[in-house]
Amino acid sequence: MSEAALSPDEAALLDRVQAPEGQGREILDAATREVIGRAPVQTVADLDDAIARAKAAQPGWEALGHQKRSDLLLQAADAIDARAEALARLLSREQGKPLNGPNARFELGACSAWLRATAATVLEPEVLVDDGETHAELHYKAIGVVGAIGPWNWPLMIAIWQIAPSLRMGNTVVVKPSEYTPLSVLAMISVMNEVLPPDVLIGVSGDREVGARLAAHPDVDKVMFTGSTATGRKIIESSAGNLARLTLELGGNDAGIVLPGTDPKAIAQDLFWGAFINTGQTCAALKRLYVHDSIYDDVVDALKEVAEQTPMGVGLSEDNVLGPLQNTQQFDIVNRLVDDAKARGARIVTGGAPAPELGELFYPITLIADATDGMAVVDEEQFGPVLPIVKYSDVEDAIASANRLDVGLGGSVWGPDRDEARKVAARIQSGTVWINSHGGVHPMIPFGGVKGSGYGLEFGVEGLKSVAVPQIING
């Protein structure tokens, strides 16, 4: 029983949010498969009560004004920082990501950084016409109650991406965390609620029925969802009855294009982490790599060298920077895609089979060379530690391959000539295209997908607008 190994601070946080002994649903450590704690199993009735409380609290929260709300967001960031180590350790157990590297401690730092950046973002009324006869201004006001439905891969950071702008604009928020990672999210919410007024931010831990009700509830005015495209479509259907506004950050299958003349060793580290941050369990991770034939073998070799030097194991070990798959369902998807690639003649450069010596859900970094469009491992989102590498000889073909799928979250172009790379990037059909990097986000740079990767923008001024309703004052 891993509870015995919890630090006092972890145990105190867990006791705030977990179900009483003998109740709830057991949550397992992703790496060791030991029981961490018991997630509350709340019902649709519990959700209805939470939404009613949030709706009642919203006018008073909005009335505080932007400055007071921003001050409270800054205090919430301080509260998270004060408990960051305990939250990071709980996150590492529940999600599987290691403490170090771009993982659990990094995620907690991002949570407080995003709160502070959101608090500091200014959204002033915009004068549209002022010609002596007509004066028209564009203002943004709170929507009401925001329903936030989060994923299991970056459960705290993405929750903050939903919570911070919503609260900043005067909305109240009801959060439904993933069934796989509820404890760490509920713990973070409890820390934030040390400084926030009652019922401004409420977490509800439940199953898919609760999530469906949140999307369809008549008193929910905005739904923010990060997750699969299939679930996003269901949320669109569920929200139709109440015309809730939507921000959907859905699945991706990000392509990277390495242009001729690129130095493989110079880009290997950034390529590796673009693909394998959070052990590949990231929506905007690099998931298929197109490399010019003149440097193909050298890029494969450079990535292999990085992979072999990057330690994987239990996340609470200070030495590891790669962890397990978070759940059995995702492990099975990764295993199926790799097996299919092998059966179709692709070449396994590293990995290629589960690593039971590390634990039940560990799958090593797997580089797949000689992959081709049409293979399942290329056409489907792996969402794990697998990267198919495709050879091309004509850049036009690489661009066509990058654009051939019905997703468009991110993409990247790698090359020594930044102007040439930008020309290629402009032709990639994705919400963001990075040059000589992949997957980095910034609180002031809008982020969102196209095609089957969803719609709506997050972050910065555009992110504030997305959780508000416009009002024209004319006269």
Q: Which of 36, 281, 37, 60 is nearest to 154 (CA)?
A: 281
Place of tokens 């295993």: 335
Distance CA 420, CA 312 (A): 37
List the catalytic residues.
Answer: 249, 283
Q: Which of 177, 160, 152 is nearest to 96 (CA)?
A: 152
> Residue 93 burial by CB count (10 A; 0-12/13-18/19+): exposed, middle or buried?
buried
Beta carbons of 364 and 264 less than 8 angstroms apart = no
Distance CA 73, CA 119 (A): 6
Measured in degrees and rounded to the nearest 5, phi and psi for residue 159 equal: -60, -45
- Rg, Å, the chain Cα set: 23
Measured in degrees and rounded to the nearest 5, phi and psi for residue 458 equal: -120, 160
Distance CA 459, CA 118 (A): 8
Give 224's Cβ-side CA count (13 Å radius).
31
> Residue 461 burial by CB count (10 A; 0-12/13-18/19+): exposed, middle or buried?
middle
Distance CA 107, CA 87 (A): 10
Measured in degrees and rounded to the nearest 5, phi and psi for residue 433 equal: -125, 125
Please give, one letter per residue, the 3-state secondary structure of 21-72.
Answer: CCCCEEEECCCCCCEEEEECCCCHHHHHHHHHHHHHHHHHHHHCHHHHHHHH
